[in-house]
Amino acid sequence: MDLWKRLEMSERLADMWQELGLSAGTAVVVLIALYFVIKWAVKNGMTEAYRKITEQKAQDDLKADKTIHDLWN
């Protein structure tokens, strides 16, 4: 039995994958790998953005503290 029919994929989508020379199993593996790569990239991007925001906030707080300290002296 054809795996494409078993998974009830649209004929157009099945033809696209077959033209690329990929079987249904390979297509599933590729899509799963793509999911994890995108998930990893988004996680790293968010971590980096959070780190930059925290550093900027710390620098702003230090500037504010220095300004207040300079005003008192």
- Per residue in 32-49, pLDDT tens? 999 999 999 999 999 999
Residue 4 has pLDDT above 60, yes or no: no
H-assigned helices in the chain: 3-6, 11-19, 24-72
Contact by Cβ (8 Å): 18, 10: no
The residue type found at 23 is S
Q: What is the pLDDT of residue 3?
A: 63
Q: Please list the helix, strand and coil fractions of the chain in percent, rounded to the nearest 5, in that order.
A: 85, 0, 15
pLDDT band at 13 (very low <50, low <70, confident <90, very high): confident
pLDDT at residue 9, as a whole number: 62
Give just the sign of the alpha carbon dihedral 44, 50, 54, 60: positive
pLDDT of residue 33: 96
